[in-house]
Structure 1
Amino acid sequence: MAEALKKPPPDLAARLKGLRDGLLTGLVERDVPVRLALLAALAGEHLLLIGPPGTAKSLVARRLHQAFHPATYFERLLTRFSVPEELFGPLSIKGLEEDRYERLTEAYLPRASIAFLDEIFKANSAILNALLTLLNEREFDNGKRREATPLISVVGASNELPEGEELDALFDRFLLRCHVGPVSKAGFPSLLGFRGDVGAELPRQLRLSEEDLAEVRQAAASIAVPDDVVALLADLREWCMAEGIQVSDRRWRKVVKLLQTAALTNGRDRVSIWDCWLLQHCIWNEPGQRAKVHDWYEARAGTSAKMDPSRLTQIVTVWEAGLKRDQDSRSQARDAEGNLLFKDEDGKPTVAKGYMAQAKRGGEPLYLAPDDSHTREPDHYGHTRWKVNDRTKAGSGFTLSELNALWVQDPSRGSRQFSHWPNRDAYLANNANWHMEEVDRPPFMEPTRQKAAHIEACLKELTSLRGQVEDYKAQLLAHIASLDADIRAHLWVTADFAEPAARSLEATRRVVETLLERLGKLRQGFELLPCEREEAP
């Protein structure tokens, strides 16, 4: 018997579709609130409708009541002056006579299956505590007794968001939230076309019993939540923190339960990424945040825990940077015997590390002093000649300006200053007169030869990564092929999401195609890297 309770009614999906469509009879642009109300009831959660008066908020709750049998209904408009008796029933006179503080709850909220509480945030402190217990635990403290209630779901309504910390707990009790506005310009003619009160007539066989609900809720607990959905929820939690959207831990757990119910009622044994469309109606504290959550989800639709395109792009970018480092790496070349090679004056390789070149000082070339050169220094008798005995100037050489200050003995014209010596240019051009020094040649560089094991390891990892991306591409193409049917057949996702979801998946497909091209170029790049020569055994 216990095993049978783990399975929902075999015709559940068909019955729910009939219920959903029947509840929408005569309603214009109220598809989302009706879907959310029915799903909330199935999951044992509550729905909050935010919007101006006259937008069919109470009608949604009344329609929801028709989905269950047997079921009692309670409706009340709260004000700041509402007293507990209006919600929970009057005090029992007989009980007071017997010193018991008890309420007569028949026909009031503690005996209701479906309830509609309008202007719920007008609830005062006298009502609030009992209401929180009833919403969360489905129990009501009646005098000394805590009584179980038949409550399936409450539809709360308000024209405005709650103000004051004392209402935060009440706001958090409503897992599903929906902003309801006036009918749009496009839907207005349809609204005017209805005549009289259009009610929903639901066949008895479609309505859900207490047993049906118990089976659904028990079976939903066994629905698997795959890694890609867990990863999406984890990413959404981080995003909410960054956006300043506060979501309690209790709320996240309830979200998972809701997604499990959505999957079960669609005939699946695991939660789908498409079920997560519902997140936009669970994760907001202000109506404007719903669109942000929707856009975030739309961009993530079709991704998975391990194959998130943004993550894959980062991985491929890291690989490309690694390949570029290997390609740009340079090492000093060696000849066949293993000798280091250097670059000669013509840019060709040589084993000679150094060569003799004209020395320089401060960027100026240095020379040797001419033979028989001397200096002239003025004194009391005219000039004194000092012969240059060391042509190298103690190894430091002469700059051109220093040479120009010397005097050279010219056999035909006598002593001439170097700067005016007829053989000056020829002397400077003759490298035999240059002061030379040994200069190290620059190393002859070549692309670094990578170890064969390094190249093989990189190619192996790239092959594995490409295989994962190709598997993901296959899953993505399957998503794209079945997208329209999956969403249009989904009980809770509205069909208008098919088009943006298709755009998102197509954009993801293009990203994946680009990644595969980049992986192909990476493989080619690593295959072309120079490899170390194998040593002879």
Structure 2
Amino acid sequence: MNSSVQELLDKARSFVNELSKPFVGREEESLVVGLGIFTGEHVILIGEPGTAKSALARRAADLVNARFFKYLLTKFTEPDELFGPLDISALREGKYVRITRNKLPEAEIAFIDEIFNANSAILNTLLTLMNERIIYDGYNEIKVPLWTLISASNNVPDEPELQALYDRFLFRHFVRPVSEDKWGELLEASWKIERGEYGDTKPVLSMSDIVEINKLVLSVDISGVKEKLLRIFAIVEDQGIHVTDRRKGKSLKAIAAMAILNKRLKASEEDLIALKYVLARDREEYEKIYAILLEEVKTSEKILRELSEIETNVRETFKFVNRLSDLDPRLVDYLRSFESVREKVRRLSNEVSDDRIREKASNLIVEIDNLLDLIKRKLTI
């Protein structure tokens, strides 16, 4: 692998890491946005308001120094608000021209909030814009520079007329509020943002870098995962989950982009975990597909999930032990149990080369050590 390719791989990973920095518990959302941008595909984030969806989109554009457009749709939104007003002086001369400055037709990365509020006039234009990067302006066909459209919605659309639009989003992610164990971090991060302590966002990539990374995505060797991918498609269909032909075909781009983020030019089985952002239509299907992937795919995701479960157990036990009286006989059992857990975490860390796992395991070992120290103090050891 030559140095320029390695540099691009490093930049791609750095982009995702930098994107999540100001936000607590939004690492997965940052990963999904990164997959969308590196593939040149569109992303939709589905979840309640106030979960940093628009802020992520804005920061993503700033990190690549892209032209950005943001808008909240209502059922009363007019096409002019998105695509620009008609040029009256041109209209007097019999020309149908829009003034598109600072509007969606000039954006490279855009964020449309509540996109399913689009009326039919906007809906038809958005479909063409997303699929072909073209806007029909009167009798003119205008190519637009849009690279990735990031959208948000509170809910998955049920209306038949919106299904074509929903299908244009290759990446779908169901956003959850920050978990209770991270509320303290959330308060600290929010206060830093309010005080302006993060400063201006400095680009880590350019749009030309994005184009080159996209070329790398399309050069990834995906031959080794096709057989497993076909098996997953079959299992998903057997579970009553229908995946459109479009999504089946484009899933290869998601897998290749995940390989790029894992700093590889050859896809491996663990990259198939990206399918959880592609195949599911709603939250229920997402849970089913995620369970299938955890069962079928040899992936770091399994280990990360296991470490997260251990982390929750350690924190709950710490609170419980803290309330126990000194020399409580149960403390001996806890001591033996968590000494074994500590060894298990160390073993999991040593068996993999994934930096995310090693970092999480290292932090978890510190928490286990703190728990063991507390137990020993209570036992006066």
- TM-aligned CA distance change 1:216 to 1:18, over 3 Å: closer
Q: Name the CA distance, whole Å, in 1 between partners of 2:119 and 2:242.
A: 24
Question: Which residue matches 2:329?
Answer: none
Alpha-carbon distance, 1:246 to partner: 2.1
Question: Which residue matches 1:86?
Answer: 81
Q: 1:138 aligns with which of 129, 133, 139?
A: 133
Q: Deviation string for 1:111-138 (max 9, x for gaps)?
A: 0111111111111111011101111111
The equivalences for 1:243-392 within 5 A come to 243-302=239-298
- TM-aligned CA distance change 1:121 to 1:7, over 3 Å: farther
Alpha-carbon distance, 1:290 to partner: 1.3
- TM-aligned CA distance change 1:172 to 1:126, over 3 Å: same
Question: Which ranges in structure 1 are unaligned for 5 or more consecutive residues?
Answer: 1-5, 304-479, 500-537
Q: Deviation string for 1:405-434 (max 9, x for gaps)?
A: xxxxxxxxxxxxxxxxxxxxxxxxxxxxxx
Q: 1:234 aligns with which of 230, 238, 262?
A: 230
Question: Which residue matches 2:116?
Answer: 121
Q: Secondary structure at the match of 1:484?
A: coil
Q: Name the CA distance, whole Å, in 2 between partners of 1:7 and 1:46.
A: 30
- TM-aligned CA distance change 1:181 to 1:220, over 3 Å: closer
Work out whether 1:98 is the aligned partner of 2:96.
no
Alpha-carbon distance, 1:175 to partner: 0.9
Q: Secondary structure at the match of 1:155?
A: strand
Question: Which residue matches 1:476?
Answer: none
Report the AA paired with residue 220 of structure 1. V
Work out whether 1:485 is the aligned partner of 2:347.
no
Q: 1:63 aligns with which of 59, 66, 70?
A: 59
Q: 1:36 aligns with which of 16, 23, 32?
A: 32
Q: Secondary structure at the match of 2:206?
A: coil
Q: Name the CA distance, whole Å, in 2 between partners of 1:221 and 1:26.
A: 31
Q: Deviation string for 1:416-469 (max 9, x for gaps)?
A: xxxxxxxxxxxxxxxxxxxxxxxxxxxxxxxxxxxxxxxxxxxxxxxxxxxxxx
Is the contact made by 2:255 and 2:272 (CA closer than 8 Å) also made in structure 1? yes
Question: Which residue matches 1:110?
Answer: 105
Question: Which residue matches 1:216?
Answer: 213
Q: Matched residues, percent identical? A: 35
Is the contact made by 1:273 and 1:301 (CA closer than 8 Å) also made in structure 2? yes
Question: Which residue matches 1:180?
Answer: 175
- TM-aligned CA distance change 1:259 to 1:7, over 3 Å: farther
Is the contact made by 1:22 and 1:202 (CA closer than 8 Å) also made in structure 2? no
Question: Which residue matches 1:346?
Answer: none
- TM-aligned CA distance change 1:99 to 1:278, over 3 Å: same
TM-score for the superposition, normalised by structure 2: 0.75
Q: Name the CA distance, whole Å, in 1 between partners of 2:246 and 2:360.
A: 30
Q: Give the CA RMSD over aligned residues.
A: 2.6
Q: Name the CA distance, whole Å, in 2 between partners of 1:187 and 1:139.
A: 43
Is the contact made by 1:23 and 1:200 (CA closer than 8 Å) also made in structure 2? no
Alpha-carbon distance, 1:73 to partner: 0.8
Is the contact made by 1:9 and 1:212 (CA closer than 8 Å) also made in structure 2? no
Is the contact made by 1:274 and 1:487 (CA closer than 8 Å) also made in structure 2? no
Is the contact made by 1:109 and 1:115 (CA closer than 8 Å) also made in structure 2? yes
- TM-aligned CA distance change 1:185 to 1:60, over 3 Å: same
Is the contact made by 2:45 and 2:152 (CA closer than 8 Å) also made in structure 1? yes
- TM-aligned CA distance change 1:218 to 1:18, over 3 Å: closer
- TM-aligned CA distance change 1:16 to 1:495, over 3 Å: farther
Work out whether 1:51 is the aligned partner of 2:70.
no
Q: Name the CA distance, whole Å, in 2 between partners of 1:149 and 1:488.
A: 38
Is the contact made by 1:117 and 1:157 (CA closer than 8 Å) also made in structure 2? yes
Q: Secondary structure at the match of 2:141?
A: strand
Q: Name the CA distance, whole Å, in 1 between partners of 2:46 and 2:10.
A: 30
Report the AA paired with residue 55 of structure 2. L
- TM-aligned CA distance change 1:127 to 1:7, over 3 Å: farther
Alpha-carbon distance, 1:232 to partner: 1.9
Is the contact made by 2:12 and 2:260 (CA closer than 8 Å) also made in structure 1? no
- TM-aligned CA distance change 1:183 to 1:302, over 3 Å: closer
Question: Which residue matches 2:336?
Answer: none
Is the contact made by 1:48 and 1:178 (CA closer than 8 Å) also made in structure 2? yes
Q: Name the CA distance, whole Å, in 2 between partners of 1:11 and 1:200.
A: 26
Report the AA paired with residue 237 of structure 1. F
The equivalences for 1:158-173 within 5 A come to 158-173=153-168
Question: Which residue matches 1:22?
Answer: 18
Q: Name the CA distance, whole Å, in 2 between partners of 1:483 and 1:113.
A: 42
Q: Secondary structure at the match of 2:151?
A: strand
Q: Name the CA distance, whole Å, in 2 between partners of 1:482 and 1:40.
A: 32
Q: Name the CA distance, whole Å, in 2 between partners of 1:495 and 1:134.
A: 41
Report the AA paired with residue 50 of structure 1. I
Alpha-carbon distance, 1:284 to partner: 0.6
Q: Secondary structure at the match of 2:131?
A: helix
Q: Secondary structure at the match of 1:247?
A: coil
The equivalences for 1:448-459 within 5 A come to none
Question: Which ranges in structure 2 are unaligned for 5 or more consecutive residues?
Answer: 300-347, 365-381
- TM-aligned CA distance change 1:100 to 1:489, over 3 Å: farther
Q: Secondary structure at the match of 2:242?
A: coil
Q: Secondary structure at the match of 1:186?
A: helix
- TM-aligned CA distance change 1:489 to 1:185, over 3 Å: closer
Is the contact made by 2:75 and 2:118 (CA closer than 8 Å) also made in structure 1? yes
Report the AA paired with residue 78 of structure 1. L
Is the contact made by 2:38 and 2:217 (CA closer than 8 Å) also made in structure 1? no
Alpha-carbon distance, 1:487 to partner: 6.3
Q: Name the CA distance, whole Å, in 2 between partners of 1:200 and 1:35.
A: 22
Alpha-carbon distance, 1:300 to partner: 1.1
Q: Secondary structure at the match of 2:219?
A: coil
Alpha-carbon distance, 1:201 to partner: 4.7
Report the AA paired with residue 216 of structure 1. I
Greater Rg, structure 1 or structure 2?
Answer: 1
- TM-aligned CA distance change 1:294 to 1:88, over 3 Å: same
Q: Name the CA distance, whole Å, in 2 between partners of 1:283 and 1:160.
A: 17
Question: Which residue matches 1:502?
Answer: none
